[in-house]
Amino acid sequence: MTTESAWTRWPSREALGREGLSRPRRMLAWTVRALVLAMLLWGAFSSSHVHGWGAVAAAAGVLLAAGASWAFFRTTLQHRLWPSLALIAVLLGIAIVAQTAGFQVPALVIWCGCAVSALERLPLAAALPVTTAALAAYAAVDNDVWLTTAATIAGLFLAGYVLRLDAEARGSAQRLLAQERAARAAETQSAALAERARIAREIHDVLAHSLSAQLVHLEAARLLIERGADREQILGRVVAARGMAREGLAETRQALSALRGEISPLEDFLSELVAFEDGADVTVSGERRLLTAEASQAVRRVAQEALTNVRKHAPGAKVQVKLEYGERQVTLHVRDSGGKPGDLTGSGAGYGLLGMRERAELLGGSLEAGREEKGFVVTLKVPA
């Protein structure tokens, strides 16, 4: 921070406001104001020469000083320099008039209040001249010995600066609290968005797997009808589509259970997944352990998508699903033996593999897919 900015910088609005003040400090502030007002009234009306129009003038002076003080606090809160200086000049003028008229106590109270308030609430470049002028006027009319006057001036200057430091510390605390609240709100919003994205991804993967599998069988049934196939072949495809619809419903329920934290063991899921596949088996190696929900769901969805692709592009192929628990990762291999291209081999735009790869990369893993000498293999690796 440069020297120029330190001299011209206002105390923050949080520092000049009342927010963050504890109840005892609020009560203390109002007590001080009440004492100052009481001293002004006592000094204005205790003199023996105050009567008639003099009393009216004294009352008007007290009210004017109170109004100017209130306005000064408002303009400094709004960081309006020239109106603030004009108001404090009015207060100093009231003090000079009061001293001239013989009201020494109110004049001294106003000068001291102006010195402390200016140092607390104005930029230092403006506060120091105002404080110096107010304390100089106080020293000129004070009847105490010079040492007492000097000690009083030093104490007032120190009190104003300490109040300024305290207000700035309170303002900094308020700003930090506001930033922390904003950061927590942003973190909560980010977590909510991430959870929404996870739910959307789970629902998408379940529906994409189920509906695409049904589409395979229904499209095959349509082709069989066009070719004049017998009733049994067509009925077989329709029954298979119905079975896939039931499986999709079960998978949707399972996905919702997983989102609630209720998830079946991964090995059981893979076994159930290939139970309706002819020539498919599952092998598990390594030390079995509980995976995170994200890693477990990734393995499940990749296995589903890979089997859907086998049904679509290589119907009748034998499928081997292998799950390996490593020291720091889990690996899934889905390998098919190759088969006669199906009627829907050319369908699809490759979004299934893209979605699987994106899911793996979100977890810091990888996915590889490609043809081998016999068949096609999908390999997923995720940290676990």
How many residues comprise the chain? 384
Asked whether residue 332 is domain-assigned, the answer is yes
pLDDT > 80? residue 80: yes
Asked whether residue 225 is domain-assigned, the answer is no
Of 117, 143, 169, which closes a domain? 143
Residue 246: band (very low, low, confident or very high) from pLDDT cuts 50, 70, 90: confident
pLDDT at 292: 81
Asked whether residue 247 is domain-assigned, the answer is no
Of 115, 143, 171, which closes a domain? 143
Residue 378 contacts by C-beta under 8 Å, 6 or more apart in sequence? Answer: 302, 306, 309, 332, 333, 334, 335, 353, 356, 367, 368, 369
pLDDT > 70? residue 12: yes
Asked whether residue 148 is domain-assigned, the answer is no
Query: Do 139 and 7 belong to one domain?
Result: yes
Asked whether residue 204 is domain-assigned, the answer is no
pLDDT in tens, 190-235: 877 776 776 677 677 667 667 777 788 788 888 888 888 888 888 8
pLDDT in tens, 39-51: 655 655 555 555 5
- Residue 382 lies in domain: 264-384
Encoded tokens for 361: 């990369």
What total of structural domains would you count in the chain?
2
Average pLDDT value for residue range 164-189: 83
Average pLDDT value for residue range 136-148: 80
pLDDT > 90? residue 139: no
pLDDT in tens, 85-127: 999 899 888 888 888 877 777 888 888 888 888 888 889 888 8
pLDDT in tens, 265-324: 788 888 887 876 777 889 999 888 888 877 888 888 888 888 878 877 777 788 899 999
Phi-psi region of 52 (alpha: psi -120 to 50; beta: other; left: phi over 0): left
State the DSSP code for 276: T
Average pLDDT value for residue range 13-20: 72
Asked whether residue 320 is domain-assigned, the answer is yes
Of 95, 123, 143, which closes a domain? 143
> Rounded to an integer, what distance in angstroms lies between the CA atom of residue 298 and that of residue 304?
10
Q: DSSP characters for 181-234?
A: HHHHHHHHHHHHHHHHHHHHHHHHHHHHHHHHHHHHHHHHHHHHHHTT--HHHH
pLDDT in tens, 17-41: 776 666 676 666 667 666 655 665 5
* CATH code of 318's domain: 3.30.565.10
Query: Do 7 and 139 belong to one domain?
Result: yes
pLDDT at 112: 84
pLDDT at 346: 45
Percentage of residues in the chain having pLDDT higher than 70: 77
Asked whether residue 89 is domain-assigned, the answer is yes
For the chain, the average pLDDT equals 78
Query: Do 137 and 268 belong to one domain?
Result: no
Residue 348: band (very low, low, confident or very high) from pLDDT cuts 50, 70, 90: very low
Asked whether residue 99 is domain-assigned, the answer is yes
